[in-house]
Structure 1
Amino acid sequence: MTSGRIDWIAVDWGTSHLRLWLMGDGGQVLDRRHSDRGMSKLKPDEFEATLLALVGDRLPAGRRVPVICCGMAGARQGWAEAPYAAVPCLPGTWDRAARPRTSDPRLAVAILPGLSQARPADVMRGEETQIAGYLAANPGFDGVLCLPGTHCKWAHVSAGEVVSFRSFMTGELFALLSTASVLRHSVATTGEDQAAFSAALDQAMARPATVATDLFSLRAESLLQGLDPVTARARLSGLLIGIELAGARPYWLGQEVAIIGAGGLADAYATGLAAQGLSPRRTDAEAMTLAGLAAAHDALKGQL
């Protein structure tokens, strides 16, 4: 934690978690705070109290502090609905931000809108802010952004706009299959096997129609041949990411691709794309979230 005058607060309010940064003059991060009080655990009238529980000790008396939020705080079930902006459009449609009323006079809150697509139907909340941050840091980028997560997003960006995007439930499918299906008896909770992951990914991309049976083979091999649980975990990941890459081929084929993410999940996508002959750029998700929130703060300065 760094002492100093708080200029504004950056907030990424997800479904299951809340992350925020206390920002000083010049974009300096004075402190980072987090909570498991995501949108799914809150009623609309509980958001302000949740925020105050995290930052109330640092709010100055007699001054309103701008709070710029992205993510699920703007969902229909969130703090205040921030209606989607339809693509093609700029990722930073800050003028559509929702402005919930607050009881504490020290807070001036803006909740950024997500993006929507009519055909095929799709939505995103939070990722558009990372995209805006990436474009602020990489002006002129023309290509595809891959944002791994529970619901991985593939966004085609051109001339500063999000042209189209698709969401894949790969992360959620992995969680469900590894913890709530028959595969839970065969799959380790941690561990890596790079060779097994790569082989399963290639298998899924070559024969995506057989993945449903390939998945059950993990259980059968565990029972009959003592398949190592770490290897089973790697193969499960490879099969699911493989069918995603097969489905997302129109996005990445022949395109410049950048991955916004960190850790093992982003590594897995980078490995999968490298196997297809691509050399994706890599950039940190937190840095892009902060860059996008900072762009929104600058755009809304004087309006809060």
Structure 2
Amino acid sequence: MTDWLAVDWGTSHLRVWVMSRTGTVKARRASDAGMGSLSRDGFEPALLDLAGDLLGTGKTPVIVCGMAGSRQGWAEAKYVATPCAPPGIDRATHVPTNDPRLAVHILPGVKQTSPADVMRGEETQIAGFLSLNQKFDGVICLPGTHTKWAHISAGEIVSFRTFMTGELFAVLSQQSVLRHTVAGDGWDAEAFTDAVSTGMSNPAELAARLFSIRAEGLLNDLHADQARARLSGLLIGAELTAARPYWLGQHVALIGDDKLCKAYADALGAQGLPVERTDADRMTLEGLKAAYSALKETTQ
């Protein structure tokens, strides 16, 4: 029997954990029915298609994080302004459903007015991390398409900044003049480390350094693995320079894809900064579990 559903609804994916009241994962399901492919009236059918057979006859709480709460999503869950604790069930948006078995709660994102910034989904991962590390004081970095750096103190998100480093890498490696030079998925750790150092020491030269990757491929037969690692290193190096006020002298925890987190850990390690790496899926689930625990308290 399903006691509740934990749902991570991103732009391109839908992930559902089938949960017991004690927090045990009974099953996990996923589909490509992300927010970006759905109209507003398509969310409930997409959820039922994936997990409807697991519902009982009574109401099943469904705790949702991510892009389902965006303006283009299932129902807008308005942002909570910093400084704030990662918003929980008390700030969630309750969504009316056609199926009486569903009791859907969408967690809100977090906003910052100056400089203007937003996050949606990452705050739940931060909540999960803080539920396991209640005395943490430092910085959480969440590498991804849009990498977040969040300053955490006394259980609150004090401030954060977003860098489009992952999206820039995708565009440059797939759609720019560099796409042939960096083709493949290989990697050269030494080239990456050197490029991070170059990107940090000369961020103003980023655009020129990027084109030199193409030129070296044409003139000096630069290997695709080296080229790909250099592209990543230059972009991450420029990001680290801009994000220095966040990470310098801080305790940094990384939440994200394992391969990407390793790149950030290597880049920060080269600056003499030890980091803590975590499992992104677990942090998401722990954040959703914390929200469910709060919901249980309000209904008992």
> Do they superpose with TM above 0.5?
yes
* Maintained 8 Å contact 2:183/2:228: yes
In the alignment, which of 142, 161, 170 is matched to residue 166 of structure 1?
Answer: 161
1:7 aligns with: 3
Classify 1:189/1:303 alpha carbon distance in 2 versus 1 (closer, same or farther; 3 Å).
farther
* Cα distance in structure 2, aligned partners of 1:13 and 1:133: 16
2:93 aligned counterpart, secondary structure: coil
* Maintained 8 Å contact 1:114/1:128: yes
* Cα distance in structure 2, aligned partners of 1:286 and 1:294: 12
Deviations 1:91-134 (A, max 9, x none): 13432211111111111000000000000000000000000111
Amino acid at match of 1:204: G
1:289 aligned counterpart, secondary structure: helix
1:208 aligns with: 203
Deviations 1:184-225 (A, max 9, x none): 111123011000000000000010000100000111111111
Matched, 1:285 2:288: no
* Cα distance in structure 2, aligned partners of 1:77 and 1:231: 40
Identity score, percent:
63
* Maintained 8 Å contact 2:258/2:279: no
Q: TM-score, normalised by structure 2?
A: 0.98
Q: TM-score, normalised by structure 1?
A: 0.96
* Cα distance in structure 2, aligned partners of 1:37 and 1:222: 39
In the alignment, which of 19, 23, 26 is matched to residue 22 of structure 2?
Answer: 26
1:100 aligns with: 95
* Maintained 8 Å contact 1:90/1:160: yes
Matched, 1:153 2:161: no
* Maintained 8 Å contact 1:208/1:243: yes
CA RMSD of aligned residues (A): 1.1
The number of equivalent residue pairs is 299
2:66 aligns with: 71
Alignment of 1:129-144 (within 5 A): 129-144=124-139
Deviations 1:41-84 (A, max 9, x none): 111110000000000111112x1110000000000000000000
2:22 aligned counterpart, secondary structure: helix
* Cα distance in structure 1, aligned partners of 2:250 and 2:224: 36
Deviations 1:237-288 (A, max 9, x none): 0011111111100000011111112321000000011011111111111111
Alignment of 1:221-240 (within 5 A): 221-240=216-235
In the alignment, which of 257, 279, 282 is matched to residue 262 of structure 1?
Answer: 257
* Maintained 8 Å contact 1:90/1:161: yes
1:46 aligns with: 42
Matched, 1:181 2:173: no
Moved over 4 A (4+): none
Matched, 1:247 2:242: yes
Deviations 1:146-188 (A, max 9, x none): 0111100000000110000000000000000000111111112
Q: Which moved more, 1:50-59 or 1:294-303?
A: 294-303
Q: CA deviation at 1:303?
A: 5.1
In the alignment, which of 75, 78, 85 is matched to residue 80 of structure 2?
Answer: 85
Instruction: Please list every run of 5 or more consecutive structure 1 residues that lacks an aligned counterpart in the other structure.
Output: none
Amino acid at match of 1:268: A
* Maintained 8 Å contact 1:262/1:283: no
* Cα distance in structure 1, aligned partners of 2:33 and 2:184: 24
Amino acid at match of 1:38: G
